[in-house]
Amino acid sequence: MLPVQGQEYSLLMLSSIRKRRFLKRNTLYRKNIPSDMVLVITQGKGILCIDNQALPIKPNQIFYLVGRKPIEVMLESDFIEFYVLVIRRVTFSKTKGGWHCTNAATDPSLFQTSKLQLKQGKQHLERIEQLYEDSQSKSVKDPSIQLQFQSLIHVMPGEVPEPIELEDASKGIDQSITYMYKHFNHKIKLETLSDIAGLTPTSYSRSFKKSKKMSPVEYLNQIRIDASKELLQHDDPSIKDISAAVGFGNEFYFSRMFKNSFGISPTMYMKRKQLKVATASCFRFQDCLRDLGVGNSYELNGYQHLELGVEENKRQIEIQLTELRKYEPELIIADYRHLPMYNQLKLIAPTVMMDFSMDWRAYYGRIAELVGREKEAQQTFSQLDLRVKYTRDALMDTIGLQSVSVIRLYSEKIRVHGMIDHPLSHLLYTELGLKPGSCVPLNERTKEYAVEIIPSFDTDFLLIDKRLTSQEEANLYNSMLKGTSWDAMKAVQNNQVRVISNWISMSWAPSGQNQILDDLLQWHA
């Protein structure tokens, strides 16, 4: 309940709550806020411009935005994910005839556009996430949802909002970036940007590079290149005209910068939907292409199998390279593990080396852009989010708080899958909210044990990724079953050991993630 004004009582009501994920736009995003809202950033980074002031955006930030004010958003990451809580102000007044409710006008003395510096930020974020989850099965008009919202919003007026003030250098740099977005199609001098930032050109360049990990000129060129992508999708575009339209004075310089930034030339970008594509990947890039609707492709996998030896691995690679040449691709998409093969690959076709990431969505989104399937990727993310939510609710009813652990038989060791830094870990322990067993490393990707000293896993469910590609691995599995610690495991005693498919590899593509969800639902139906 907000402060009383005479015989009137003002109240903030939750009108709607939504979770959104936007891919990076080619230019700044302008929008007039129709009503008051709370904006909660969960992933991504960029700049939010309000009242000609630039605020940096990063995860775990909460903004209160007053309605009927324009905002501008500039993304610096490939995507941004956030919650939007739309708020309606109502006024209750008591008369002789009873209580009356009307929509209330905005009262700037109560809230103003600001970044909320909440004392218990993490707890607020968890409560907002829970509010969203509960709202999926109930209407926001449900009293329980409104009570949750009232409990959440009640603390905000009592906690002091952080003023929209930053360190002079950071504030000035973000202001100059806003200027870049608005005037990128004109010639922009370094002196102009440094004046906006209130710094000398030398100090500005040094501070900018420290903050953004690139020079002002590189940042400006990236804005221009991103803007050119939309123009390149028009019918019969002219490279020369597009170069001029986005602020590059020379079409050849534009083409070179575009290729350096995006990996392919502007001409190839224009026909990217029709390209004959191949992949060189250990991370299911071919499955990603298939999921995006690119049916025919060839995949070279340069994974080094320890049991094959150096010479045999080389021979297998040469065989695959020969097949790749026969396929005659127009574009090759390769992961970081194939960087040593880059010179060989680029002799076959233009090759794009993907930056290292343990986020499968980052790979998938980048591949989608390279082949002109951005909309399909966005649809995939939305559909998969719904499936994850359904599976999470179903598993909560069947598994509840029982723990789950994943192990992989690897060479002469047992590898325990951890809670971080892998798509499978993120799916099981973050998105599905499963509880890890006692031996699951909390802050490591994996942890290995010799089979002779494998500890007893205190876990309710033990999932074994058992790819018996060699007799050595088969013997390892048999040795594990004979160990004294095996029979002592809770999962073994309760007959809750499951041999799984290659989930660790499958989790790098949407189809694999869906198959993992299907397997989990089938086991615990």
User: Distance between alpha carbon 374 and the CA centroid of its chain, in Å?
Assistant: 14
Joined tokens for residue 141? 């008009």
Tell me if 163 is assigned to some domain. no
Tell me if 338 is assigned to some domain. yes
Same domain for 140 and 64: yes
Same domain for 516 and 407: yes
- Residues 6 or more apart from 210 whose CB is under 8 A from it? none
Tell me which of 309, 344, 372 is where a domain ends: 372
Same domain for 501 and 435: yes
Q: What is the pLDDT of residues 287-322, one digit of tens each?
A: 999 999 998 889 999 887 766 778 888 889 999 999
For the chain, what is the mean pLDDT? 82
Burial class (CB in 10 A: 0-12, 13-18, 19+), 237: middle
Same domain for 388 and 362: no
The SS3 assignment for 124 reads helix
Tell me if 159 is assigned to some domain. no
If phi > 0 it is left, if psi is from -120 to 50 it is alpha, else beta; for residue 510 that is alpha
Same domain for 465 and 429: yes
- Which of 103-112, 166-175, 469-478 is predicted least confidently? 103-112
Same domain for 417 and 332: no
Tell me if 202 is assigned to some domain. yes
Identify the H or E element spanning 9: strand 8-23
Beta bridge partners of 99: 94
Contact 166, 56 (CB under 8 A): yes
Range of the domain at 247: 168-270
- Residues 6 or more apart from 491 whose CB is under 8 A from it? 405, 457, 459, 460, 461, 462, 497
Joined tokens for residue 16? 């709607």
pLDDT score of 342 more than 90: yes
Q: What is the pLDDT of residues 344-392, one digit of tens each?
A: 999 999 999 998 889 999 899 999 999 999 889 989 998 998 899 889 8
pLDDT score of 278 more than 90: yes
Q: What is the pLDDT of residues 205-214, one digit of tens each?
A: 999 999 888 9
When computed from its CA atoms, the radius of gyration of the chain, rounded to whole angstroms, is: 27
The reported pLDDT for the residue numbered 397 is 79
Same domain for 286 and 388: no
- Which of 22-26, 35-39, 408-412, 511-515 is predicted least confidently? 22-26
- Residues 6 or more apart from 205 whose CB is under 8 A from it? 190, 194, 215, 216
Query: For residue 458, what is the domain's CATH number?
Result: 3.40.50.1980
Same domain for 175 and 73: no
d(CA 406, CA 457): 10
Same domain for 518 and 400: yes
Q: What is the pLDDT of residues 239-263, one digit of tens each?
A: 999 999 999 988 999 999 999 988 8
Tell me if 128 is assigned to some domain. yes
- Using alpha carbons, select from 275, 274, 273, 297 the residue that is nearest to residue 285: 297
Tell me if 161 is assigned to some domain. no
The predicted model scores a pTM of: 0.78
Contact 500, 464 (CB under 8 A): yes
Joined tokens for residue 429? 């322990």
Contact 513, 386 (CB under 8 A): no
Question: For the chain, what percent of residues have pLDDT higher than 90?
Answer: 32
d(CA 280, CA 283): 9
Same domain for 478 and 390: yes
Tell me if 148 is assigned to some domain. yes
- Using alpha carbons, select from 353, 350, 381 the residue that is nearest to residue 365: 381
Query: For residue 207, what is the domain's CATH number?
Result: 1.10.10.60
pLDDT score of 157 more than 70: no
Tell me which of 372, 405, 427 is where a domain ends: 372
* Residue recorded with tokens 């707890």: 123
Tell me if 308 is assigned to some domain. yes
The reported pLDDT for the residue numbered 256 is 93
User: Distance between alpha carbon 345 and the CA centroid of its chain, in Å?
Assistant: 29
Give the DSSP per-residue string, 53-81. EEEEE-TTEEEEE-TT-EEEEEE-SSEEE
Tell me which of 372, 398, 431 is where a domain ends: 372
d(CA 424, CA 506): 8
Same domain for 141 and 29: yes
Length of the chain: 525
Same domain for 15 and 142: yes
Query: For residue 47, what is the domain's CATH number?
Result: 2.60.120.10
Burial class (CB in 10 A: 0-12, 13-18, 19+), 397: exposed
d(CA 25, CA 73): 10
Q: How many domains does the chain have?
A: 4
